[in-house]
Amino acid sequence: MPITEFLARNAAHYGDDVALVEVNPGLRERALAQPDWREMRLVERDFHSGYRKTLTWRKFDEQANQIAHLLLEGGLQPGEKVAILMMNCLEWLPVYFGVLKAGAVVVPMNFRYSSEEIRYCLNLADVRVLFFGAEFVERMAALQGQLAELRLQIFIGEQWERPPFAQPGLLLAGRCSPKPPFLPLHDEDDAAIYFSSGTTGFPKAILHSHRALVCACEVEQRHHRQGREDVFLCIPPLYHTGAKMHWFGSLLTGSRAVLLRGTSSRWILEAAANESATIVWLLVPWAQDILDALESGELRVEDYDLSAWRLMHIGAQPVPPSLIKRWKTRFPAHGYDTNYGLSESIGPGCVHLGLQNIEKVGAIGKAGYLWETKIVDEQGKATPPGQVGELAVKGPGVMRCYYKDESATQAVLRGEWLFTGDMAREDADGFIYLVDRKKDVIITGGENLYPVQIEDFLRAHPKIKDCAVIGLADYRLGEIAAAIIECKPGESCTEEEIEAFCKELPRYKRPRKIFFAPVPRNATGKIEKPKLREQYAGGSVVETQVRN
């Protein structure tokens, strides 16, 4: 069954129920910041309709149908590629499902892309139609005349913001039929292209089928036990598999989801309280910010009614155990879970900790529902418990291929197994612990260092908010570990303090270089290590003294 059938079913069974809520605190605060906003005589209802907007399942399905007809009437052929370049908003998911209902392949794009990255990805994926929002007018204007394969550019936003090179999407779609297009779709049809995060190089185009998307729905609902009464607070960008596939649990159960535009700690707690959120998915930096704000007294948890919140889960990057211990101290009633996944495995869930395994904090878990895992050495043989090897996964959510990149596909797909490039180990109970990215392993004096292990250790320091460990070339040792440390607000730290703290580490694991600076993370919370290597290594070889 194609994933579009879930939307049609929800419209039929729960048509008048709210499917999506968009909350935009920034819009409210910008209005309140205007000194004469009261004199503007904004009607209360109209003001709040901008701050908080809703969409029922019936309207959601009808809008998706209208988008599908718009594309088909424009000459789009089944299997052609349609990209989405939009910030999270109420229109995002109807556009996504409209593309699918038209038999096309939907191509979500990172809203952080520069004009050059947009051009690269549109060309790589053979995109014929692009939906884009007001935030991207300038970037798209810079590309006019450079996108030979792009036949149609459709603007989603207010008419007065529409550039002359784009068609008015909402206006045109509103004239189309809200009835479903009679177009047969099948499980094995191509459905979506997602781009890799680019943390290890330029993005690759990852092709998935409808079957893989349905797998993500089933995995998410099974792992987090969504029911009709759950409310999912969605904060990360919808272009990423993580946010979307977690929302797929709401799709499967016909339950409500809230799209929060913004990541302020106060906004997150306000949205969770005001919308009675039961499930909130956070990235590591946001969880850290919330805890820091509570511990500093900037926010008080008693100011928010969070009684409905039952589950906090984190994914998309390694989760420091110290962070979860701090969270459970502040929120002891919350269930905690983490999921591991890749865009190549349709996002989170191929490895899953499980709500009942809080004592295993630090592990990413065991094979998720419908998935198999194995950890292998360089020869492809299974490693014994405790030994580090490469994690491989197998299941119905594995990608078809890297689109138009056969050599890259062959490097990671071996039969039905996807080799993740992540180094991991398994304990005696079968729980998997992520050690590091294969490409991020530092080899110093013949010893393998796994930066994630050192980062977890450093984050236990009371003054450290975030940190990243990278390898720098060294004449004597080949590579050394360098730590980039971001202190908590109002705190300062010295190199000598860090060195003293690291005395508990084996000498070969201690950082030999220490820098104090912000730690850059991408939109999904992953540390941008290529950027750090470029900044701190710069292609040069350093020579360091061995510290005792």
Q: How far apart are CA 107 and CA 96, in angstroms?
A: 9
pLDDT for res 189: 96
pLDDT for res 453: 81
pLDDT for res 547: 38
pLDDT for res 6: 97
How many CB atoms are closer than 10 A to CB 274? 14
- Determine, yes or no, domain membership for 520: yes
Q: How far apart are CA 451 and CA 250, in angstroms?
A: 35
- Determine, yes or no, domain membership for 503: yes
pLDDT for res 66: 98
- Determine, yes or no, domain membership for 499: yes
Q: Which two tokens stand for residue 425?
A: 């180990």
pLDDT for res 35: 53
Q: How far apart are CA 382 and CA 526, in angstroms?
A: 28
Q: Which two tokens stand for residue 250?
A: 């709401």
**Ordered alpha helix ranges (H), 74-163:** 92-101, 115-124, 137-141
- Determine, yes or no, domain membership for 299: no
pLDDT for res 539: 44
| Successive 10-residue mean pLDDT values, the chain, 548 residues | 95 98 85 54 44 95 98 96 96 98 96 88 96 96 92 94 95 95 93 77 88 96 95 93 90 97 94 97 86 93 96 78 89 92 90 90 92 92 92 96 95 94 91 81 73 87 92 77 92 93 86 93 77 73 40
- Determine, yes or no, domain membership for 21: no
Q: Which two tokens stand for residue 163?
A: 């550039």
Q: Which two tokens stand for residue 422?
A: 């992540």
Q: Which two tokens stand for residue 496?
A: 């000598």
- Determine, yes or no, domain membership for 429: no
Residue 447 belongs to a domain with what CATH number?
A: 3.30.300.30
Model-wide pTM > 0.95: no
- Determine, yes or no, domain membership for 504: yes
**Cα 119 vs. chain centroid, distance in angstroms?**
22
The number of folded domains in the chain is 1
Phi, psi of 436 (to 5 degrees): 180, 170
pLDDT for res 257: 98
Q: How far apart are CA 249 and CA 255, in angstroms?
A: 8
- Determine, yes or no, domain membership for 233: no
Domain of 458, in residue numbers: 441-536
